[in-house]
Amino acid sequence: EHKDIATPLRTKQILEKYGLSAKKSLGQNFIVDTNILSKIVNAGEINKETTVIEVGPGIGALTEQLAKKAKNVIAFEIDDRLLPVLEDTLSPYDNIDIIHSDVLKVDMKAFEASHLADAKEVVLVANLPYYITTPIIMRFLESGLVLDRMVLMMQKEVASRISASPSTKAYGSLSVAVQYYMDAAVAFTVPKTVFVPQPNVESAIIRLSEKTEKNVQVNDEPLFFRLVRSAFVQRRKTLWNNLLVAFGKADDTKAKLEQGLEMASVDPKRRGETLTIEEFASLANAFSQLGL
Ligand code: SAM
């Protein structure tokens, strides 16, 4: 029976053995608390049918706990210094693949064909490098990979923005961008003390799951995302004012904007931050129909 990686002592020993120190520039904060790891694994509802994709295994703390419960784990790690470490720490497990790569450069379609062809259920689990939280999430959401769930550690403030509801301070284009694809909820918050080294910010676990409501139908995605971003440019202004700035004030544009708002039954005097994703979708569809 070998010792868990995720204890302060074992982590210290591993880092010393390899003469390693955490690289801040790669967002390296290692978890040294097995209770937090159990909570993460539980939130992922991982079982022997589950293929887990992990981003940033580090020295293997979370990877190990995932491998015990999952069918297999495939982990992307950018830092070549960690490859011999992982080889060593994860040697008791035969269901782990480490891919040495920048996750933002992975060709997801090719990865799906080579690694997920006979996967039954695929779950993304990660203690994310915080400097690229949003790019990583958006890359997986936009990739077209079919993920059953995602359980992701990130900075608490980003977690509240991702999971925010309309008419709250945290609601913005990031909330809409993520919730367009999946339902989002904060599963639990995590104190700084479970990491070595400790990050400067509080953390939280976000759980993304398949949408329970029917998917919103959007006919022109670029237009939808342009509309969403424009609605939040000046949060204190009305939707109408933000639309004029984004789309222009020419008479025929104004007329189309007005007509689109009416078709979608959205009051131009509202603030963008009050619109639901469904309302943004209807409005974008109306604008696209009018040739905006
Ligand atoms: N999973 C480990 C844990 O929980 O203790 C380490 C998590 S640490 C917050 C983030 C990890 O992501 C580090 O191992 C870092 O090297 C890795 N990483 C950073 N940027 C990456 C990238 N672009 N692609 C893949 N991995 C990356």
Per-residue pLDDT of 120-148, as tens digits, reads 999 999 999 999 999 999 999 999 999 99
Contact 156, 201 (CB under 8 A): yes
Ligand 1 lined by 29 (C-beta under 6 Å): yes
Ligand 1 lined by 81 (C-beta under 6 Å): no
Count CB-CB contacts under 10 A for residue 136.
20
Sign of CA dihedral 124, 141, 153, 90: positive
Query: Which pLDDT score is estimated for 214?
Result: 76
Ligand 1 lined by 78 (C-beta under 6 Å): yes
Contact 183, 210 (CB under 8 A): yes
Ligand 1 lined by 77 (C-beta under 6 Å): yes
Rg (CA), the chain: 22
Ligand 1: centre distance to CA 56 (Å) = 3
Query: Which pLDDT score is estimated for 54?
Result: 99
| Nearest-CA residue for atom 1 of ligand 1 | 57
Question: What span, in angstroms and rounded, lies between the C-alpha atoms of 271 and 56?
Answer: 39
| Nearest-CA residue for atom 19 of ligand 1 | 26
Contact residues for 157 (Cβ-Cβ < 8 A; gap 6+): 201, 202
Question: What span, in angstroms and rounded, lies between the C-alpha atoms of 237 and 235?
Answer: 6
Ligand 1: centre distance to CA 30 (Å) = 9
Query: Which pLDDT score is estimated for 1?
Result: 57
Contact 184, 206 (CB under 8 A): yes
Identify the burial level of 22 via C-beta atoms within 10 angstroms of its C-beta, where 0-12 means exposed, 13-18 middle and 19 or more buried: middle
Ligand 1 lined by 173 (C-beta under 6 Å): no
Residue ranges of the chain whose pLDDT lies below 70: 1
Closest ligand 1 atom, residue 129 Cα? 10
Pocket test for ligand 1, best of 65, 99, 127, 196 (most atoms within 8 A of CB): 127
